[in-house]
Structure 1
Amino acid sequence: MARRHLRPGAWRRLGGFRGADRPDRRLDRHLDRCGAHHRGRGARRRPGRLALLGFYPPGPRATVKVATWNIHRGRGTAGPFRPNRIAEVIAEIRPDLIALQEAQHYLRRGTPMLDAARIEDETGLRPLPVVQRPDHQGWRSNLLLARRGARLLRGPIGLKLGGWEPRGAILAELDLGSGPLRVIAAHLSLGPERRRRQAEMLLQAARGDGSSLPVLLMGDLNEWREGASALGVLARRFAMPPPLRSFPAFRPIWALDHILADPAAMLRQVAVHDTRLARRASDHLPLTARLEMDAA
Structure 2
Amino acid sequence: MSATHPNAPTVGGSAALPDVSGYALVPKRHWGRWVAVAVILVLLAALVRAFAVGQIEWRFVGTFLTAQSILDGLVNTILMSVAAMALGIVLGVVTAVMRMSANPVLQGVAMGYSWLFRGTPLILQLLLWFNLALVFPSLGIPWLWSARTVDVITPAFAALLGLGINQGAYTSEVIRAGMLSVDNGQYEAAKAIGMTRLKALRRIIFPQAMRVIIPPLGNEFIGMVKSTSLASVIQYSEILHNAQNIYYANNRVIELLIVSGVWYLVIISVLTPLQALLERRFARGTGVSR
Query: What's the TM-score once normalised by structure 2's chain length?
Result: 0.20
Higher relative contact order (CA 8 A, sep 6+): 2
Between Structure 1 and Structure 2, which shows a larger proportion of strand residues? 1
Between Structure 1 and Structure 2, which shows a larger proportion of helix residues? 2
